[in-house]
Chains A and B, each alone.
Chain A
Amino acid sequence: MELTLAIAIGALTGSGVWLVLRPRTYQLVIGLSLLSYAVNLFIFSMGRLRLGAPPVLGPGGSGNPADYADPVPQALVLTAIVIGFATTALLLVVLLAARGLTGNDHVDGREPR
């Protein structure tokens, strides 16, 4: 299971980095989205992998802390997901505006000679 997730994180990172290095703005948007999946999973995995132990306490709030998954990385990732959406939107709009002003969708605002 750890190995699977590690390979997944690696593959997402690799795909993301490849796209981030590409010249078209749309590739950048997709690449950053893939990278943000990878980063979110990476941060999440720092709390180690647990099955069937969501950090939701039983009635009365009882329970041994060792019986629950680490809630801290989860809290971090939760806001990161929402902020990630916002930054994707911002990036998209900036790229669209640049596309409108420059007439092309190259990341430098002009086609290479």
Chain B
Amino acid sequence: MELSPLVLILALPFAASLAVVLFPSTSREPATWITGATMVACFALTVSLYPSVASGEPVRYLGAWLPSLGLNFSLRMDGFAWIFALLVTGIGFLVVMYARYYISAEDPVRRFYMFFLAFTGAMLGVIVAGNLILLVVFWELTSIFSFLLIGYWHHNQAARDGARMALTVTGLGGLALLAGMLLLGHIVGSYDLDAVLQAGDRIRSHPLYVPTLLLILLGTLTKSAQFPFQFWLPNAMAAPTPVSAFLHSATMVKAGVFLMARLWPVLSGTPEWFVIVGIAGMASLVLGAYLAMFQHDLKGLLAYSTISHLGLITLLLSLGSPLAAVAAIFHMLNHATFKASLFMAAGIIDHETGTRDLRRLSGLFRYMPITGTLAMVASAAMAGVPLLNGFLSKEMFFAEAVLTHVDSWLDTAAPYAAVLGSALAVTYSLRLIHSIFMGAPPESFPREPHEPPFWMRFPVMFLVMACLIVGIMPAQTIGPFLHVAVSSVLGEATPSYSLAIWHGFNIPLAMSVIALAAGTLLYLVAGNALERSERPLFLGRIDGQRIFERVTVAISWRFARLIEEVFGTTRLQPQMRLAVAAAIAAGAAPLVMAGLAFGDHRNGTTDLAFAGLWGVGVVCAIAAARLAKFHRLAALALLGGTGLVTCLTFVWLSAPDLAATQLVVEIVTTVLILLGLRWLPKRSRDLAEPTDWLLRLRRWRDLTIAVVAGLGMAVVSYAVMTRTPPETIASFFLDKAYAEGGGRNVVNVILVDFRSFDTLGEITVLGIVALTVFALLRRFRPAPDTIERPEQQLIQRSNDEADPDREPGSTEAEYLYVPSVIMQWMFPVVIVLAVYLFLRGHDAPGGGFAAGVAMAAGFILQYMAAGTVWVENRLRILPVVWIGGGLLVAALTGAAALLFGDPFLKSYFRYGELPLVGKVPMASATLFDLGVFSLVVGATVLMLIAIAHQSIRRLRAARLGEERQRWN
């Protein structure tokens, strides 16, 4: 991936997020500086792209992602994306500066900046994504990181609830959006944003237009907290204030309206768009402003005001006129500036006084005049007072609301809703300023308030200055940039508009005056009532949060419980029965549908010896099944019998490698289960044959299932075996094994060369299983009745004690003396056998797996012969080192190929002379096989030793009793 600035803008925040992890969790300075520097770098990179963006042609980057699915990692920055990226990185930087003072030293700052940076990356991803699916991926990332950021103070119940609600709502919206984007891609035939933007007419006339629109709007309206999904935003205010300032004013909630504006040229202009988006926008505008008036929590007021302002933008986008779109984009920028500054001011007030409750705050102006002034100016911008940026976009909004675009009651209502919303905005802005800064100084604050440090106030100051400058000289400051943004969205439809404070005496101005006057009047009349109100008038009983909780509980708890009660069981046997029955059904279905036919492919021999061999094997298997309950040792021996027959079958049927492996595995499996037998309970006779007819019926049912399964397998395997084999990849391997793999044992070459990546995965699994066994046994608590020494040892001891000539324990020490001496003598022989199996593996039957298990068997024989203590006093086996070393050797062998510029695990080979041994293959695959060998040795030994060790532990009977009580 070349380092195009676009990629850098996207990659830097994510990289920085990972870099922050490297610092200690409370290291404040490095994390802050990295975050700040990243924001500045991204900001500068964005600025540097301006000349190319301003020329009208988007900056693009195209990387391969999933080209076979038509998905490209395509990035695209046009004027609209550019101005949003600027907004995100710019406000992001200011918020970092602010957070430096806001987040207290006790909080884990590292986590904050990690999430903050990752969120910034995701947000920038949404902005510059040039592919619909890529956009959705980043969209979901913003939901996830906002969840983590809202829940930053996770010791706080409100934060957890708010985070969960935000994630549920925006996450579900994101899923709907994904479905919508898939439909959109299906309609257009491409997921490329450029192609989609070209295909407006096709999309709007397509029969799937309405479902597509609904799904996409579900995504955008939830993200922007628009009616009827507005309820999550106020609950998200449990987040730290820098998060609210960044996510819930300037960035994340803007992603919804951003996407609506982005797709505006292709989706808007239809009655469906107008009605849905219009109602959502209008309801959010009026309801948000109305509910904002009643809030007593400062951040709650700002949250509802955000809903209202986003509603204004949504309403503008619904109208379908280019001029309204211009106003919408302009208002997105203006709202971000004044709302971010207000949130930060709210944080300062909270920080300095210890409360955000409007009823407790008053008269703060004398304590913090500068912050007070800044907050007043920002509030005035929010209320739409002239000479501030909020006024300009609001005038444009009024002008558009008055015009009739679509002849319907909704359009007729628009100007009235606009004035109402604006009047209420004036009221809540006045309430904010008046109740915090004016009035008598309070009797008591949790803390004595004073002005914050200069640099904490600086971001607020900067943003308020921006509001003022844009408000006074719009055409000279924001004008050209806005034009670039607008024309990138609207293209040729870009209308002519003028950014000016004074457009003469006209209807919008009259509406502004009415709104200002009515809002002020309302506050004068009802201000005190608002201050005292317990809940909002009329709408107080409808609580979005409560409805959400009810629905969540119903779906995720009651419904889940119901399903569990109906379909669930905590018992294993019914589950197994279901699984087996499902397997039988799945196996039988194709036979039923396509019929079953046997072929006439035979290998020509009917060997009675083979049939006799399997006669023994089958009897062993059935007897093992019969005896496994009451005669465990016998069952184990019979299982071994079946295993040996299987092993002989492999020899018989041209699979020497399998036979060798099966043989050694058979040995270690038997040892393993023998070691485990000791810990099982004695089988009491009261569990004998069932007399209950119901139980008998169950056994008959299970027997039927087993017989059906067995018959099915027999029929299916017979059917396959008698058919002439099709052309398979076998001939490829047989052809190339020597020519390209340098080995004559094709099975081994497949394992260590052609399919060595699979083998690497398999030995990794083996290592993990061994470690899991080890870990499980470290905290092993045997049952009390198995703690005593085994019965046999007790008898031997009592004999020793009864006989005056014998030392106690001497029978035990000499038990099986001759076999154990032989086993000790065999140790070097087994090692030589393992080495032999390993070395010949590439050209003749053998190889790392068989050799490894053989070697492990050699070790475990020593344990059996002389006892754990004796062996471990003389021999230090470090199984974990064998495992780790083996995995390392295998992986490094594979990685070595990378040094030669070849793909991972490509092998080399030649033959070399070793003294005494002669000509041996020196393939890199042999080195890989050595890794396999070492890992198999380590894993097998670790599992066996871990179980063997349990017997020599001195067990803690006292602790056991307590634990048992807890479990029963």
Contacts and interface: CB of A to CB of B under 8 A. Distances in A.
Nearest to B598: A2
Given A19-B625, A22-B628, A69-B653, A103 B702 contact: no
Given A45-B717, A65-B730, A94-B776, A21 B629 contact: no
A13 B713 contact: yes
B580 interface: yes
A94 B617 CA distance: 29
A90 B783 CA distance: 19
B709 A13 contact: yes
B762 A55 contact: no
Contacts of B734: 55, 57, 63, 65, 68, 71
Q: Which of A16, A44, A56, A84 has the most CB of B within 10 A?
A: A56
Given A8-B618, A26-B632, A100-B780, A14 B943 contact: no
B841 to A, nearest CB: 11
Contacts of A87: 769
B63 interface: no
Interface string A82-107: 11111111101111110111111101
B773 A90 contact: yes
Interface size class for chain A?
35 or more
A74 B601 CA distance: 20
Contacts of B943: 86, 89, 93
A15 to B, nearest CB: 4
B573 A21 contact: yes
A56 B746 contact: yes
B863 to A, nearest CB: 15
A22 B629 contact: yes
Given A1-B602, A10-B714, A56 B843 contact: yes
Interface in A3-33: 3-27, 29-31, 33
A57 B665 CA distance: 26
Given A1-B603, A74-B747, A103-B968, A88 B681 contact: no
A51 to B, nearest CB: 6
A69 B656 CA distance: 11
Contacts of A5: 614, 649, 717, 721
B603 A17 contact: no
B705 interface: yes
Interface stretch (B231-239, B638-646, B899-907): B638-646
A96 B730 contact: no
A51 B738 contact: no
A15 B658 contact: no
Contact of A65 (B681, B735, B968): B735
B434 to A, nearest CB: 66
B717 A105 contact: no
Contacts of B779: 97
Given A13-B710, A82-B853, 16 more contacts: A1-B610, A21-B580, A27-B628, A45-B720, A49-B721, A65-B735, A68-B654, A69-B653, A70-B725, A71-B737, A92-B947, A93-B676, A93-B946, A100-B781, A101-B963, A102-B968
17 contacts: A1-B603, A19-B624, A21-B702, A29-B673, A44-B653, A52-B654, A54-B845, A55-B747, A63-B734, A71-B733, A71-B747, A74-B657, A85-B669, A92-B672, A100-B781, A103-B968, A110-B968
The 3 closest A-B pairs by CB, nearest first: A61-B738, A14-B710, A10-B714
